[in-house]
Amino acid sequence: MDTNKSEFRDEMPRVMNAEDEKFLVQWLIESNKQLAQRNRELLVENLNLTSRVETLEKISFIDFTTGIHNRGYLQQRLEEEFSRSRRTGTSLSCLFIDLDDFKKVNDTYGHLTGDRLLRDVAMLLKSFCRREDVLVRFGGEEFVILMSCTGHRKAQLVAERIRTKMEACIFDYDDFRLSITISVGVSTLKKNDFKHVKNPEELIWTADRAMYEVKQHGKNHFFYLPFSSDRLDFAPAVAATT
């Protein structure tokens, strides 16, 4: 019987004295400090990683030849602007711009000069853009300007202003001077168009088709192709007053 009592006493938890309690409290405090420090380090690492990801994303949307945004950026913004215009009932316009006979520049002066001309053209186009407009190099010698809250008359007016400015501009490259013209296709999604247009890229395709019509009829003009049009009657315009 005495043996059983002894075993029972050995299994009972030892009551902590004051020194044990002090050690435990200090250990908990130190552990919490270490955890807090590690949490701060993880937070900083996460913020740095997020910043790097955002930087890489921004870089991925830049066209390195011209310094403006690229086609990938247009695809992202087109979805946003299409949804916003459909929701608010405002017009969304697109200018599809192609440099006329750009291949001759590369063949005559070399691709480095061609790249330089593309950069200068991009800067000229940028000067006509509002802060909310989206200017991108679509590919090769093609550029696109996406214009929110802009009707077809305003878009045509901007297209003609850009075309006129480009035609008159002389690009001075030390040993020689260059000039170039552009063909511009214009398209506009109006409030009623959103009822049957489901794919935002139709705005780009329509402007591209309009630009192609200009190419087929002499270049150095702009042409507006409405979504409601079943025909592609071409009437190059020199002013956008209608």
∠ CA 50-55-59, nearest 5°, is 150
Helix (H, G, I), strand (E, B), or coil: what is residue 175?
A: coil
Contact 78, 203 (CB under 8 A): yes
Helices (H), the chain: 2-11, 18-60, 71-88, 102-109, 111-126, 152-168, 201-216
Contact 222, 185 (CB under 8 A): yes
Q: Which position among 7, 21, 141, 160 bears the catalytic label?
A: 141
Contact 181, 117 (CB under 8 A): no
Helix (H, G, I), strand (E, B), or coil: what is residue 233?
A: coil
| DSSP letter assigned to residue 237 | B
Per the annotation, the verdict on 41 as an active-site residue is no
Q: What's the rounded Cα separation, in Å, for the pair 136 and 81?
A: 15
Task: Return the active site residues.
Answer: 141
